[in-house]
Structure 1
Amino acid sequence: MEMKPLYHFSLGEQELSPVTAVLMLSSPENEVLTKACEALYKFASKDDVNKVTLLGLGALEQLYKLISHEDPIVRRNAIMVFGIMASNHDVKKLLKELDVTNSLISQLTPEEDVVIHEFATLCLAYMAVEYTIKVKIFKQGGLEPLIRLLGSPDPDVKKNSVECIYLLVQDFQIRAAARELNLIPPLVGLLQSEYPVIQVLALRTLEVMSKDRETRIILGENKGLDRLVNILENSELNDLHIETLAVLANCLEDVQTLQLIQTTGGLKKLLSFLKVSTVPDIQKNAAKAITKAAYDSEIRKILHWEKIEKFLLSLLEAKNDVKIAACQAISAMCEHIDREYYNLLDWIPQLVHLLSSDNEEVKEAAVTALVNLTTASPGNVRAVAEAEGIVPLMNTLNAKRDGAIANAIAVLINLSMQEPLRTTIQSNGIMSALVGPLHSTNSKVQSKAAFAVAAFGCDANARTELRNAGGVEQLVKLLHSNNDEVRRNASWAVMVCGSDELTAIELCNLGALDILEEINLSTKRQNKFSEAALEKLLDNNLSQKYSRMGYLSSSNIIVNGFYDCGQLFWSLTLHCI
């Protein structure tokens, strides 16, 4: 933005030193005060070191007395020095101690000089970075005059005012008050400013404001949505496109606003812009906007009608940050709509390909999308297999991100619902691959891994593989978990793996029986699988059952190897959690 030149003063033939100028601030003569402020302004404008020098000389305390001076020129010059010095951190600290905000706000009346407006708003904008100052400006009534000054004929006043407002509305209470004070129409008006810096600040403020549904409605009523779409259509305003898209992203979260954009043709224009853009930040923000919007079922339908899926598919070939955002958008889009439809879009081969990415975040995003695509979708499950996704999914169990590991296991579980695929996965060594996740410290990974052991442990060879890989011991340890889901899935896995005598004996030797008995005596820790697991282990280890229970059921068949070690009596002191 090409700002107008700063206010200049003639100092005469004599150049005042900072020390002298500060001493002159105590003069009773207006002319002396004016000249002193002029000299201080010139000195402070040079660099930050000079501002600190004046701070050490006590200039601020003297200037504070002058910003409410009865002489308008003295008052104006004092506020100019205040404004130029306020960029310094140490100066801001002292300004806070002096509690200058109320005095500055009082200078924002329509009758005051435009230069006073400029430097008073500049000082407030510098100070409003701190939360306590935001609250103070708001409580002292500073928001209303700042909004009024958005209509100032001076671009510097507009710029400082909108910047200060942007900082204030970070607080949700101030945001609501700003909306009631009719902030949105003047902000929309600033989008047509000839100064890019003002446009950017207006857009950033609108982005914060449009987080609230009420603001989005007002924005639509004031043709703000059309203005935003028009900015995107204008290639000469490409430096505003990212901020504009951020505002529209919030608007896409609201069905009523989205329908308004759609009925006016704005949605088609928006999508046309997105499809041709090659700017990574724009592509990424577009995908994030779709992700947020797609959590609403009605909005998903609208986006689906506009064929947003093809756009997302194209983003899977972009840069890593864009791929991640696109995968997240795909996850949101397919979470509730008929997943079989997405099998036709070639999403699955693309996502399977991303599992081999060197970028761990890309892997996690891709496999998360695959979870949603394959859940309750036999067609998509087959599509993953046809895309040769089993091996990449198995490899993802060694990923560095817990989310990627947990979701890869979830996809493999979805695939296991089809017996031919379950057999293929078992033949690729799934039980050995699950030993690492079983040792994870992440409860979600532990839970999914135990679930997978239950899903694949129905095969005798798989159980043998788990024993040989050392997975049974860790499975027993997970029975101790304080996480209900981990404990439940571990109990389920023990129940499934206890289906053969060898595994059942090993589980018993590792203490599974004692742990399960303890769990089942607790009203809070027991679950339906813990009871079934205990019964299964005893039925496949009849010596233990007879020893503990004192009887065998009619269905229990004694074979070679049974021994009677006598009735076992024990007592458990349980501290049920």
Structure 2
Amino acid sequence: MGKKMKKEAEVSSKDVFDPLPIESKKPATVVLMLSSPEEDVLARACEAIYKYAEKGDENKCTLVELGAVEPLSRLISYEDHLVRRNAFMALGVMAANSDARRLLKKLDVIPAIVGKLSPEEDAVVHEFATLCLVSLSVEFTTKLKIFESDGLDPLIRLLASPDPDVKKNSVECIYNLVQDFPSRVAVPGPAHPGEHHNGARDPHSLREEQGLDRLLELLGNEELSDLHGEALQVISNCLQDTEALLLIQQTGGLERLLQFVLMPAPPEVQMNATKAISRAAQITENRKVLHEHDVEKALITLLAEDHDGVRTAACQTVAAMSENLACRDTFRNLEGVRAIVQLLNSESGEVKEAAALALSSLTHGNQLSAYAVYEAEGDKLLVRQLRDGHPAGAVAHAAAVLTNMAAQEALRCNILAQGGMRALVAPLRATDTRVLASAALAVAALSCDTEGRADLRDAGGLPPLIKLMSSNNTEVRSNTCWAVRVCAGDEPTAIEMCRLGALEILQEINSSSNRRNKFSEAALQRLLDSNLSVKYSITGHLSSANITADGFYDPGQVRTGQRVLTLEEFSKQKVNQHRPIIAVNGKPHQPVSAELMDDKQQDGLVSTRSSSVLSRSSGKALSRAKSRARREEEKQKDADDSKAQQEPAPVEKPWMLPHDAEFHELVTEAAKSILPLQTEREQCVALAKLVSDAMGGAVDSAKLHHFLWELHLSELKVELQSNIIPIGKIKKGTFYHRALLFKALADRLGLSCGLVRGAYNRAWNEVRLMEGPPRPPDATPRP
């Protein structure tokens, strides 16, 4: 029996090959070996593929084409430890190839890789598994897959690994993952046992095993200084989350970060540390701590570094720290404002943008800092930055700084002298909403006086400004409406804006419940108040506070959405059968001397007719004025004759509304007969009688059809060859003519009077009567 057993054993040994050394120089053969059932063959094949793939990208592409990715992705879960380790080595190297990453994504291999980050695996598996995840975590979809596979927690734990390569790969992978907000929220610490991994964390668990704690410990290890830059990048991204900000404040990590800013370090480390400080400074308490550690001095030092990234990060941190008033004062006292202004000369767009951002924060509501920018000649550089037009952020922040500076009249005048308003015209035509919103506010700040509004008109800034009111962006629309309100502070600008269609746009905005805002309502009201002719035509109402002046006209009621033409546009129309335009103008054709005006004001009169005999003194003054005018005219004639051969043909003079001498006589007569009366009631009655007599007297309603006022107006239009009729020439006027004349005279006499338009050629005046004497007896009429 024993012999038989021995024979069977000998037969069995003859059926098995002894181990064979396998050698192959063909990658295709090695890839085929990945399907072998022999563990030793699999381990050798994986090792050979790893060495082959390490030699270059071309070899990786060859392996992908031969189909090596799919068997390797299976072998990383093989039972044999050596096979599993070598497969990870090969796959980790090949994952650097884009085609390989695409196949790995399709094969859904990420959960298997994450599963091998457990403490049971050795450092080699951890190294190449994390290397593979580094390559995969550059794309959003795979990044999200890593997060959903609970890959973030084991990566954080591996930061404590004794292997530097594992730490490095883990930091890089975490850095890629925290670019995505859900992952960034999850970084502070692992979930409690049994908690669903959805990014939520219990604040009390943050003091235990935490990702930020691990990273801060890594920063304290000088032997791992090559990882400090990447670790700081991860911390900087994590600090965009409020919970992480609170954690770093509680654990004392802020002081550790500050060391990298205060102490000499490589530029990359300084840049990332400064970015982290900037993020931490979003919390008020952190700003106080940083201020106590004299971070301002360190930042000013960093502003002088010859590294654009460091200077950019320093400016961004200055902007964040400027929320603290004490920090603003410190930056200014340490000449930090001047240092930042100098960075506006940088060739780097990022540096210029960050510098303008810092100045915007420093000067916000701080006149001393704004003046410091002026002393450093920053206004010139900021205006130049507006003209450059790029980058968009630099233009937006530069406009914001100029807005802050314009709060001081002296600085505003200097900005205008530097061509600031002209430089804003191009940003008003930009496409970036940040630039548009900031430029509109700058226009508002620089247009609060006549000089600024004139610059805006001359530079052609009104058309793009009016167009911006139709923007779909709420901030742009609101800021533009505010600028329009400010610019409508004088009549010339208001008239030009109305000509460009501003009224129609504002009416459309205010009719919409979604687009209307308090700024659009204020802009419409200011525009109408600065252009009373248009206001009366649109609303049919003028209050006693709306004082008409020379140049006022009544074109009649317009339909909704219809633009009211200007007097010059009406003057170019041929005489037609439509209702005439009634104009008010008592301006003389030529200026009157100051001496003559003084004499006239002493008599309580304003007259421009040379034939009017006012008094002996005014007659002498008029004679002197005529003599002076003749002498000046002769001198001018001689000068014109001498230059006639050199000068080009004279430019056509702009159209002007003709002087209404009859209306001026009515003003003079009203001043003489009405102002001396004792009560406003007596004045109003007398004024009404004067208006009635000037317009054809009282007319019985039964005989109104005999009062041919329409024929009279038609005759005046033919006589003047114009659709515009001066109100003083109307001798037969109906309701709306008389009401308009009463309002025009009352405004010049200083009487409170409103004007309301009714239907069917009706109009009336609203007068508020006060007890007692209306005004001092020596009062003079309005010019």
User: Is 2:103 the partner of 1:137?
Assistant: no
- Matches of 1:132 and 1:297, distance apart in 2: 48
TM-score (norm 2): 0.58
User: Is 2:315 the partner of 1:327?
Assistant: yes
Q: Determine which of 144, 147, 165 is the counterpart of 2:118.
A: 147
Structure 1 residues 185 and 481 mapped into 2: Cα distance closer, same or farther (>3 Å)?
Answer: closer
* TM-superposed deviation, 1:454: 1.6
1:64 corresponds to which letter in structure 2? Answer: L
- Matches of 2:346 and 2:159, distance apart in 1: 43
TM-score (norm 1): 0.77
- Matches of 2:464 and 2:76, distance apart in 1: 67
Q: Does the aligned pair in 2 maintain the 1:125–1:161 contact within 8 Å?
A: yes
Q: Does the aligned pair in 1 maintain the 2:73–2:91 contact within 8 Å?
A: yes
User: Is 2:551 the partner of 1:561?
Assistant: yes
* TM-superposed deviation, 1:127: 5.4
Q: Does the aligned pair in 1 maintain the 2:159–2:215 contact within 8 Å?
A: no
2:473 corresponds to which letter in structure 1? Answer: N
- For structure 1, list consecutive stretches of 5 or more residues without a partner in the other structure: 1-27, 44-49, 573-577
> Larger helix proportion, structure 1 or 2?
1
User: Is 2:412 the partner of 1:445?
Assistant: no
1:89 corresponds to which letter in structure 2? Answer: C
2:338 corresponds to which letter in structure 1? Answer: P
CA deviation vs aligned residue, 1:334-381 (integer Å, no higher than 9, x gap): 235643343333321111111122222211110101111122233322
CA deviation vs aligned residue, 1:176-197 (integer Å, no higher than 9, x gap): 765787554554132xx4xx64
- Matches of 1:30 and 1:378, distance apart in 2: 92
Q: Does the aligned pair in 2 maintain the 1:504–1:537 contact within 8 Å?
A: yes
1:425 corresponds to which letter in structure 2? Answer: I
Structure 1 residues 214 and 496 mapped into 2: Cα distance closer, same or farther (>3 Å)?
Answer: same
Q: Hey, what does 1:92 align to over in structure 2?
A: 64
Structure 1 residues 182 and 337 mapped into 2: Cα distance closer, same or farther (>3 Å)?
Answer: farther
* TM-superposed deviation, 1:411: 1.0
Alignment of 1:486-497 (within 5 A): 486-497=476-487
User: Is 2:89 the partner of 1:101?
Assistant: no
- Matches of 2:438 and 2:215, distance apart in 1: 44
Q: Determine which of 302, 312, 317 is the counterpart of 1:315.
A: 302
Structure 1 residues 520 and 269 mapped into 2: Cα distance closer, same or farther (>3 Å)?
Answer: closer
Q: Does the aligned pair in 1 maintain the 2:437–2:479 contact within 8 Å?
A: yes
User: Is 2:274 the partner of 1:287?
Assistant: yes
Alignment of 1:195-214 (within 5 A): 197-205=165-173, 207=175, 211=184, 212-214=187-189
Secondary structure at the residue paired with 1:441? coil
Q: Determine which of 356, 371, 386 is the counterpart of 2:375.
A: 386
* TM-superposed deviation, 1:414: 1.2
- Matches of 2:560 and 2:149, distance apart in 1: 69
Q: Hey, what does 2:88 align to over in structure 1?
A: 121
Alignment of 1:11-410 (within 5 A): 34-35=20-21, 38-40=22-24, 43=25, 51=27, 54=28, 60=31, 62-66=32-36, 69=37, 71-84=38-51, 88-92=60-64, 95=67, 98=70, 100-107=72-79, 112=80, 114=82, 116-126=83-93, 130=101, 133=104, 136-139=108-111, 141-148=112-119, 151-152=122-123, 156-157=124-125, 159-164=127-132, 166-167=134-135, 171=143, 174-175=146-147, 184-190=156-162, 193=163, 197-205=165-173, 207=175, 211=184, 212-214=187-189, 224=214, 227-232=217-222, 234=223, 238-247=225-234, 249=236, 254-255=244-245, 257-259=247-249, 262=252, 271-318=258-305, 319-335=307-323, 338=326, 339-399=328-388, 400-410=390-400
Q: Determine which of 435, 445, 448 is the counterpart of 2:425.
A: 435
User: Is 2:490 the partner of 1:519?
Assistant: no
CA deviation vs aligned residue, 1:124-167 (integer Å, no higher than 9, x gap): 3245562773683343x443334346535xxx555324423545
2:161 corresponds to which letter in structure 1? Answer: G
Secondary structure at the residue paired with 1:102? helix
Structure 1 residues 213 and 94 mapped into 2: Cα distance closer, same or farther (>3 Å)?
Answer: farther
CA deviation vs aligned residue, 1:84-114 (integer Å, no higher than 9, x gap): 456613533664774652333124xxxx354
* TM-superposed deviation, 1:452: 1.7
- Matches of 2:445 and 2:250, distance apart in 1: 48
- Matches of 1:250 and 1:483, distance apart in 2: 29
Quote the sequence identity (%). 37
Secondary structure at the residue paired with 1:397? helix
Q: Does the aligned pair in 1 maintain the 2:50–2:89 contact within 8 Å?
A: yes
* TM-superposed deviation, 1:535: 2.5
1:88 corresponds to which letter in structure 2? Answer: K
Structure 1 residues 151 and 299 mapped into 2: Cα distance closer, same or farther (>3 Å)?
Answer: farther
- Matches of 1:184 and 1:386, distance apart in 2: 51
Secondary structure at the residue paired with 1:277? coil
CA deviation vs aligned residue, 1:208-264 (integer Å, no higher than 9, x gap): 6785111675556997457423433x5xx55444234435546767346535663xx
Q: Does the aligned pair in 1 maintain the 2:159–2:214 contact within 8 Å?
A: no
Q: Hey, what does 1:47 align to over in structure 2?
A: none
Structure 1 residues 297 and 203 mapped into 2: Cα distance closer, same or farther (>3 Å)?
Answer: same
* TM-superposed deviation, 1:459: 0.4
Say what the alpha-carbon RMSD is for the aligned residues.
3.4
- Matches of 2:535 and 2:302, distance apart in 1: 60
1:378 corresponds to which letter in structure 2? Answer: Q
Q: Hey, what does 1:479 align to over in structure 2?
A: 469
- Matches of 1:516 and 1:450, distance apart in 2: 16
Secondary structure at the residue paired with 2:552? coil
- Matches of 2:498 and 2:153, distance apart in 1: 72
Q: Hey, what does 1:10 align to over in structure 2?
A: none
- For structure 2, list consecutive stretches of 5 or more residues without a partner in the other structure: 1-14, 54-58, 179-183, 191-205, 563-783
Q: Which moved more, 1:366-375 or 1:529-538?
A: 529-538
Q: Which moved more, 1:250-259 or 1:421-430?
A: 250-259
Q: Does the aligned pair in 2 maintain the 1:82–1:119 contact within 8 Å?
A: no
Q: Which moved more, 1:90-99 or 1:121-130?
A: 90-99
- Matches of 2:173 and 2:442, distance apart in 1: 48
User: Is 2:517 the partner of 1:530?
Assistant: no
Q: Hey, what does 2:410 align to over in structure 1?
A: 420
Aligned residue pairs total 506
Q: Does the aligned pair in 1 maintain the 2:319–2:362 contact within 8 Å?
A: yes
1:63 corresponds to which letter in structure 2? Answer: M
- Matches of 1:185 and 1:304, distance apart in 2: 34
Alignment of 1:501-520 (within 5 A): 501-520=491-510
* TM-superposed deviation, 1:301: 3.3
- Matches of 2:236 and 2:455, distance apart in 1: 50
Q: Does the aligned pair in 2 maintain the 1:405–1:445 contact within 8 Å?
A: yes
